[in-house]
Structure 1
Amino acid sequence: MTRLQVLGLTMAVTLLATAGAHAEGDKAAGRKLVYTCNGCHGVEGYSNAYPQYPVPKIAGQNQQFIVNALHEYKSGERNHPTMTAQAQSLSDKDIDDIAAYLSSLAK
């Protein structure tokens, strides 16, 4: 095998290994952080007044989805005034911890 082939194979294996990686977090720390989330997302049948829409349940949601969504709110890629403000107050570790906890709950 040539050096170029070995390098290419090494890079491919590295990319495949990292593509399957997901966020890790501390569920106990996340449990302490979700108290503000529960005010809207933890109320059965809760809906936003204006504009009118049902607030989604996030308990049991996919961990990586929660991480991605919070990072998108934090960066402004997703737009919702309340969620943007909440996400901007979170560190990357906080986001990982919240996602670990919420994803561990039953739907």
Structure 2
Amino acid sequence: MKKTLTMAALVLLSSATASAVATEITGNAKAGQNKVAMCIGCHGIAGYRTAFPEVYRVPILGGQNAKYIEMALHGYKNGDRKYSTMYAIAASLSDQDIADIAEYYAAQK
């Protein structure tokens, strides 16, 4: 009985791992180009500072590491990073949108 349960657990684990690998998302910079309209207003202006909720310098995203951008957007989306405007934007993005936007900005020089 114990051996059967162990085997069943291994089968479930291996199928879950295969599913996770099969659903890995690859970003597409060309597709991302059509998804950044809401980003450009803040992240495309050199030296731009925002005044809400506090004054801070908004980073330029062009040339940034794609994985960093993905992690940041997912952080805003799930609430680990706190900024209401970025939360609202990130919450509206699919995982594919995030990967595409990250690749688009990473490809900029």
- TM normalised by structure 1 equals 0.76
Q: Distance in 1 between matches of 2:104 and 2:25?
A: 12
Number of aligned positions between the proteins = 86
> 1:93: which partner in 2?
96
Q: Is contact 1:23–1:63 with CA below 8 Å preserved after alignment?
A: no
Residues 2-53 of structure 1: CA distance to partner in whole angstroms, max 9, x if unpaired? xxxxxxxxxxxxxxxx9xxx96211111001011100000012110113111
User: Structure 1 runs of 4+ off > 2 angstroms?
Assistant: none
Question: 3-state DSSP class of the match of 2:34?
Answer: helix
1:1-107 alignment, distance < 5 Å: 24-50=26-52, 51-106=54-109
RMSD over equivalenced CA pairs, Å = 1.6
Q: Distance in 2 between matches of 1:63 and 1:52?
A: 26
Q: Is contact 2:25–2:96 with CA below 8 Å preserved after alignment?
A: no
Long gaps (5+) in structure 1: 1-17
> 2:10: which partner in 1?
none
Q: Which has the larger radius of gyration?
A: 2
Q: Is contact 2:50–2:57 with CA below 8 Å preserved after alignment?
A: yes
Q: Distance in 1 between matches of 2:37 and 2:59?
A: 16
Long gaps (5+) in structure 2: 1-20
Q: Distance in 2 between matches of 1:44 and 1:62?
A: 18
**% same residue:** 47
